[in-house]
Structure 1
Amino acid sequence: MRFAKLSALTLLSTALLTACQSQPSNTLTFTPSSPIMQQFNVANQRAVLNVVTRDVRQAPEVSSYVHNDKIHKLFAQPSVTQLFDQVIKQNLNAKGFRIAATPAQSNTNVIVNITQFFANVEQGNLRYKITAKVRVNVQVQGAKGQFNKNIGSTRTQEGAFNADNANIQKVLGQALEDTIQSLYKDQEIANAINQNW
C-alpha cells in the first residue's frame, strides 16, 4: 500500500512539473484601433483606390526568445498583412476615399509594404531588454506620378529576469499603435492621392 501511495505521489509530482514547463503560446493577438471620426472630405470621393498590402519582411515571426533552452518564435494574429490592410483601408475610408472592388475599377494604387514588425529580445541572467520596431512604406501610384512615405515607430522596455509573451506583446503593441496613429494623422498620403490620379 505504501508503494502505491508513493507511486501515485511521484506520478502527480511529475505531472505538475511537466505542466509548469509547458511551452507558452506562440501567438500574439493584436487589435488595431479605429480612426477617430474626422470630417468626411467629399472631394476625396473622386479617387477610387486599389489598395495592396504586402509583408516584405525576411521572416514571418514577430519575435523570438529563449524559453527552456529552446528558441520560441512568436507570430501575429491576425497576420501582419491583415492588420495593416485593415488599418490602411479604415484610414482611407474615414478620409472619404473609395476603395475599388477590383484593380480595374481604380484610378490610383496605394501600396503598403510592411518592412519591419519585430520585437528583438535580449536576455541575460537578471535582466531583459525588448526593442520593438514597426515600419511601413506607403506608395501612391497614379497617372500623374508617384509618392513614397515611410512611417514607423520604435519602443523599448527593460525589466528584471526573463521576458515573456506579455512583455513582448506590450512593447510591440505600443510600437504598432504609434505607427497606426501616425498613419491616421498623416495628410501627405491623402494629398498625394488627390494630386496623382
Structure 2
Amino acid sequence: MKFKMKSLTLGAVLLSGVLLTGCQSEPNTLTFTPAPPKASMNVNQSAVVYVTTRDLRNTPEISSYVKDGQLLKLSASPELTQLFQQIEQQDLVSKGFRIGMANNSNAAVTVDIQQFYAKVNQGNLRYDIDSKIQLAIHVQGRRGQFTKNINAGRTHSGAFSARNSEIQKVLGETFNEVVESIYKDQEVANAINQYAN
C-alpha cells in the first residue's frame, strides 16, 4: 500500500511539473549582441573622443503585443544605451581613435537613440511585424559640429500570432543592419578629424 501511495504521489508531482513547464510564458527580454567591427586600425589618428549615448524614445519597451488577452511588453538586454555606447566606442577604437573623458577629449560624440521598436499588428489568421531603428550620431568639436542619421527597417508577415522569436528575428536583422552601417561609415570619423582641433 505504501509503495502504491509513493508511486501515485511521484506520478502526480511529475505530471504537474510537465504541465507547468508547458504553460511557462516566454521571457520578456530580447538579447542583442553586436558583431565586432571589421575596420583595420588607423594608427595616424590623434584625437581623443568622449562618447555618450542618450535614449530619446517615448517608451522604454522595444515591442509589445497581445497574447492570450494580455499585453506583453518586451525589453532589450543589455539596455539600449549600454549597447550603442559599446558599439560606438568599438567602432571608434577600431578606426584608431582613443576614448577619453569629457575633460581630456578633443571631440564629443553623442549617439541619440530616436527609435528602436518592432510594431506588431495581429489579426485572426495573420500578423505583421514592422521594425524600425533610428539613430542620430552627433560630433561636437572646437571647430564645429556634424550630425549623421542612421536608419533601418524591416517588415515580416506570418500566419496566426506573433511570438518573441519572430520579433527577435526581425528586430535583430534591423539591429545588425544599423551596426553594419555604423561600422562602414567614414563621415563620423572624418568629422572628428575635421572639427577636433
TM score, norm. by length of structure 1: 0.89
Q: How does 1:148-163 map to 2 (within 5 A)?
A: 148-163=147-162
Aligned partner of 2:88 in structure 1 is 88
Q: How does 1:64-79 map to 2 (within 5 A)?
A: 64-79=64-79
CA distance in structure 2 between the aligned counterparts of 1:88 and 1:191, rounded to whole angstroms: 15
Name stretches of at least 5 consecutive residues in structure 2 with no aligned partner: none
Aligned partner of 1:57 in structure 2 is 57
CA distance in structure 1 between the aligned counterparts of 2:13 and 2:36, rounded to whole angstroms: 51
The yes-or-no answer on 1:175 pairing with 2:174 is yes
Name stretches of at least 5 consecutive residues in structure 1 with no aligned partner: none
Give SS of 2:149's match: strand
Q: How does 1:1-197 map to 2 (within 5 A)?
A: 19-38=21-40, 40-44=41-45, 46-100=46-100, 102-197=101-196
CA distance in structure 2 between the aligned counterparts of 1:16 and 1:162, rounded to whole angstroms: 24
- Closer, same or farther in 2 for the Cα pair 1:145/1:12, shift >3 Å? same
CA contact (8 A) 2:39 2:183 kept: no
- AA in 2 matched with 1:80: L
- AA in 2 matched with 1:120: K
Shift of 1:10: 9.5
Count residues in correspondence.
Answer: 192
- Closer, same or farther in 2 for the Cα pair 1:11/1:124, shift >3 Å? farther
Deviates more, 1:9-18 or 1:161-170: 9-18
- AA in 2 matched with 1:173: G
Q: Deviations over 1:5-42 (max 9, x none)?
A: xxx9999887766544432100101110111142x222
CA distance in structure 2 between the aligned counterparts of 1:129 and 1:138, rounded to whole angstroms: 30
TM score, norm. by length of structure 2: 0.89
Q: In angstroms, what is the RMSD of aligned CA positions?
A: 2.2
| 4+ residue runs over 4 A deviation | 8-19
CA distance in structure 2 between the aligned counterparts of 1:67 and 1:12, rounded to whole angstroms: 27
